[in-house]
Amino acid sequence: MKESASGGKSQPTHLRTEYLRLRSATFDANTELQSVASVVEAVRALFHRTRTIGVIHLEVDPLARVETVYGWQVLDRILKAVAVETVWLRSSLLPPETVVAQQGVFADRFLVFVPLPHNDQGPHAVLVLQSCATLVDRLTNLFAGEDFRAMSPRPVFHVGSATITEHPFYRLERQIYRGIEEARMAGARQEAQERSRQHAELKSIIREERIEILFQPILNLETEVIIGYEAFSRGPRNSMFESPGTLFEYSREVGMSSELDLLCQRTALKQARRLSSGDKLFLNALPASLLDPGFREGLLADLPEGYPIARGDIVLEIADRNTIVDFEAFGTEMSDLRAKGFMMSIDDIGKASSSLESLSEVHPDFIKVDNSLVRGIHKNLIKQELLRSFCQVARAMNADVIAEGIETREELEVVRRCGARFGQGFLFYRPSRELPARRAAAGRQEM
């Protein structure tokens, strides 16, 4: 490094160091957006042109939980994706001189400053509102895609807008920050109204029992014969509640998780009348529901005389184990269900947020390995070793492994070699409202 005669850093080096320090405080390297403080002069230039600007405020929620569950890398991916969509808005729908910024470096709030004609309440002001709706639609579609489909809770986007008109009595910088806050509050009000409407819709769905059931076969991987079916619950088709993740997330908000869970069990058991003797039926259930004596009695009440499958062929699949506080106490409670004849399954083993403690306390009959471990397993030696380990643990517990999400023949062959006995996935069948025709009916009880 070049030094001055006095032994210190040269002036150019010092200036560059200061420049990089200031840049890191005003520029987010992940989203490639500047902070609000650093775009004030650019916004001032918009005022000089039109004297009125529209402000779009976008906030992403709940990112704190996303970072806690999935890590900062996933959070950065989300923020980057939101930034890309916000910049797209400027390049596609808004005037080219529109300014896009972030509330601060690493912040979860994004801002768009749009030049508007003075005192305009016509097409340009409408364009700001249309841009808000377009942005929400694009982000919703993006985060419903494959890259983020398994994320829970899903990111929620609060978008609001406001108009700022230059006033000679008020300092422009304060007007800008007041406009930002006004746009934020507008987004919060709209979100509260929309949330209230969605809660009312969900309550109506539960009250009117508008739940649909899809079945996905589970197969013996050696013979590829169906041994049973997993029941998936869905809300009404073409609604936001068709997704089970959304359905149960909102049910928690309105305090109706257990009621919804029991409704899903009842509906699945009604649909399962089409199954044949010897079939296994895998029913997803929340831990809180399984601990509720009323839930257990309700489940038993839906198994009348002449039901096509025996109680011993119903497998209660424990979902959302992160809500279990005391695994030892939970395992003790599950012994009551075992005494009544039900089988048990632990779901999502191998998923980043899953807990292995449930294996030793619940003593499941089946261990379901999450699709994140199965996906691309033929190209990943670490995943193969993990699956072998789970299969060894299962054998020691006298349990069977079910590999979820098998989509290719290559994955199937490796999963077999690693020791998984059963599996399900798009390679065989997608979840469907209809039960598929059997490939070999005589082998359906082959366990």
Render 291-355 in DSSP notation, one character per residue. T-HHHHHHHHHT--TT-SS-GGGEEEEE--GGG-S-HHHHHHHHHHHHHTT-EEEEEEETSTT--
Pick the range with the lowest mean pLDDT from 27-31, 106-110, 292-296.
Answer: 292-296
Mean of the pLDDT values across residues 370-393?
Answer: 93
Range in 297-311, 333-347, 423-437 with the lowest mean pLDDT? 297-311
What's the mean per-residue pLDDT of the chain? 84
Length of the chain: 447
Residue 124 — very low, low, confident or very high, per pLDDT cuts 50/70/90?
Answer: low
Tokens 């896009």 sit on residue? 100
Across 138-147, 196-205, 239-248, the highest mean pLDDT is recorded for 196-205
Is residue 3's pLDDT more than 60? no
- Tell me which amino acid residue 140 is: T
pLDDT of residue 22: 60
pLDDT at 431: 94
Whether the per-residue pLDDT at 442 is higher than 50: the answer is no
The distance from CA 46 to its chain's CA centroid, rounded to whole angstroms, is 39
Whether the Cβ atoms of residue 282 and residue 319 lie closer than 8 Å to each other: no
pLDDT of residue 31: 92
**pLDDT cut 70: percent of the chain above it:** 83
Tokens of 1: 């490094």
282, two tokens: 């895998």
Per-residue pLDDT for 299 more than 60? yes
> Strands 343-349, 52-61: parallel, antiparallel or unpaired by DSSP?
unpaired
How high is the pLDDT of residue 351?
67
Helix (H, G, I), strand (E, B) or coil at 63: helix
Closest CA to 350 of 315, 379, 317, 382: 382
Closest CA to 349 of 328, 332, 327, 371: 371
pLDDT of residue 253 exceeding 50, the answer is yes
What domains, with CATH codes, occur in the chain? 26-200 (3.30.70.270), 210-443 (3.20.20.450)
Specify the higher pLDDT residue, 42 or 6.
Answer: 42
What is residue 48's predicted lDDT score, i.e. its pLDDT? 84
At 153 the pLDDT is 63
Which two structure tokens, joined as six digits, stand for 145?
């895609």
Q: Which of 199-203, 317-321, 403-407 has the lowest mean pLDDT?
A: 317-321
Stronger pLDDT, 334 or 404, i.e. the higher one: 404
Tokens linked to 309? 């499958």
Q: Is the pLDDT of residue 163 over 80?
A: yes
Share of the chain above pLDDT 90, in %: 41
d(CA 336, CA 293): 10
Residue type at position 289 = S
User: 203-212, 278-287, 429-438: which range is least confident on average?
Assistant: 429-438
- Asked whether the beta carbons of 257 and 248 are under 8 A apart, the reply is yes
Rounded Cα–Cα distance for residues 289 and 257 (Å) = 8
**How far apart (Å, rounded) are the C-alpha atoms in residues 157 and 172?**
28
128-149 average pLDDT score: 82
Instruction: Quote the CA–CA distance of 355 and 323 in Å, as a whole number.
Output: 11
pLDDT of residue 256: 92
Mean pLDDT over residues 416-429, rounded?
96
pLDDT band at 172 (very low <50, low <70, confident <90, very high): confident
Identify each DSSP E strand in 350-421 by its residue range.
366-369, 400-403
Q: Does residue 290 carry a pLDDT above 90?
A: no
Q: Which range among 133-147, 171-185, 195-209, 383-397 shows the weakest confidence by mean pLDDT?
A: 133-147
Please name the residue that has the structure tokens 């409202």.
433
Q: Are 339 and 303 in contact (CB under 8 A)?
A: no
Structural element, H or E, at residue 422? strand 422-423
For residue 204, pLDDT beyond 90: yes
Mean pLDDT of 240-262: 88
Helix, strand, coil shares, percent, the chain, to 5:
50, 20, 30
The answer, yes or no, to whether residue 263 has pLDDT greater than 50, is yes
What gap in Å lies between CA 264 and CA 258, rounded to an integer?
10
Mean pLDDT over 217-222 rounds to 96
Residue 181 has pLDDT above 90, yes or no: yes
- Out of 68-82, 286-300, 364-378, the most confident range is 364-378
